[in-house]
Structure 1
Amino acid sequence: MDLSAFPRVTLGSWPTPLEDAPRLAAALGGPPVLIKRDDVNGLGAGGNKLRKLEFLLGQALEQGADTVITFGALQTNHGRQTAAACAKLGLRCELVLTAKVPMAGEAYERSGNVVLDHMFGANVHVCADAEETVQVYESVNHERAVTLPVGGSNGLGTLGYVAAAVELVDQLHERGVDNATVVVPQGSGATAAGIALGTELLGWPGTVHAASVSHAKEDAQNELRQLAGDAAELLKAETPKLAHVTVTDDTIGPGYGVPTQDMWHVLKLFAETEGVILDPVYTGKAAVAFRRLAPASEVPVVFLHTGGLPGFYGYAPEAVAQF
């Protein structure tokens, strides 16, 4: 897995910590629990998108781009991290956002990731529907602009989490852990796909559980396989089998970005046992699956914390009502 052939910029602080979570493990009554802290990697308030952006923006700079255009929901973590990375690299950032999550109010519409997007100097376009999104995109696109997919999730972006898989397996090996279950949120897909592909290419004997936060199980499985296959092709590797990967969709609740009572409970559990804050959209819902899986596991369980703290403040009124 030689990634040196791909242009890459440095945006994060690697390796991110792999922390023991003994109080959380005791509360769950299962095997040892570890948290991979991809939420604490520096730039732009941190998060998993930085690993993808290192490759995506490395290519953009090599191609001579001066502008980056990308998409997402109003409280997009990807948009916020892209805006921060563009600020660092001196690139113009155009965020074309849609109000596709049924949330409203001052906190959701003006705080959290939204205010940080503006602070990082991005041009933020909030679109009402797909038609307006196309119109805005066409108005900001130009010859030296590069367009990134939602979540930075394509084959090239997936390489960021292939690299993360190597990092994680090395950290586990240093602890004497040769077999574990890794639980990871799956939204746009490249994070889970990269971990799945990387662990398979390493011949690692553990398992990966992707908890979908947005798509039905079959769609999420297909997306993960497509992204892992695209990344494998870039690496000139065989199409991955991914027999060690499972995908679930039973913690999504009413829909993407919509809070559930189970999610609030597990946010409180992580906070009061380990002082770790999850977000309501990604890690919170994946942690509901983690809470179910961990007690029955016969091997240590790793929760991959993909970040999203700024987005938590977009849900502040709902959080206040809970706690």
Structure 2
Amino acid sequence: MSHRKKIDEVTGVETTGHVWDGDICELNKPLPKWWLYTFYACILWSIGYWIVYPAWPTINGYTKGVLNYSQRDQVQHDIDAWKSGHAKYRTQIADMSLADIRKNDELFQFSIAGGAALFGENCSACHGRGAQGGIGYPNLNDDDWLWGGNFEKIHQTIAFGVRNGNPNAHDTAMPRFGIDKILDEAQISDVANFVRSFSHLDVDAAAAKRGAQIFADNCAACHGEQGKGNQEMGAPNLTDAIWLYGNSQDAVMQSVRTGRGGIMPAWSERLDPVAIKMLTLFVYSLGGGQADATSTSAPASAADKP
């Protein structure tokens, strides 16, 4: 590699003297003046920024800067301003019953907006962004409810949840007929056929006939003789086309075998009472809420749907 400088004949620019393979030269072409000036200006700007704003970490914190600006403080200021602006609505929600809030259009719309945000942050992971649910997670848009769909029932399910250890939670559980050896596999298959016949699905007629007595002896106490369900016990209606875990023979057998025992958190342990009310109103507004003319106070029970 040569180190002899020369002027490139094509560009007229001096080379650095570095040559490769005998004729490949490196041009010594400086950066444009505007680029250099911009670069120097950025250096000066950064020095000024370090002086004016918090910038450098120290042993006990960080340099505060001349302005002593804190983005954390600014965010907190914005949050406090938001809370101050909406304090009157939150106070009204706290003091009023859900039924009365529903009659106040302005307050109801505020609650729906807040409830939608809370739902997205806390509930959508299981129930879906559109509350459409999924396998094992109830669809909140229809009018099929395990524990009831009026204000009070929805409020209780959200506030205290299902089978989570909270003393106020819905705690009724379906027996584990297979795991606890209450029924054998043949009996489970027969009763699954009978349960599926409620929804007019294709079943083994002989098996369904045998399963009828098994259902009467083991399931009717909760689901009713006609399979219509019982919201007081969280027993789903078996005669419609809505299934929480699916309607295939295998899925129904698994439900009978294990009892499923789904769990829902007690949101009153994580959210304040106003947030619980807003969530209740939002879920109620999705389309499946059941009217209850007697609802006049803040509820104490709530929604889980198959």
What TM-score results when the alignment is normalised by the length of structure 2? 0.24
Q: What TM-score does the superposition give when structure 1 sets the normalisation length?
A: 0.24
Is the radius of gyration larger for structure 1 or structure 2?
Answer: 2
Structure whose residues are more often strand by fraction: 1
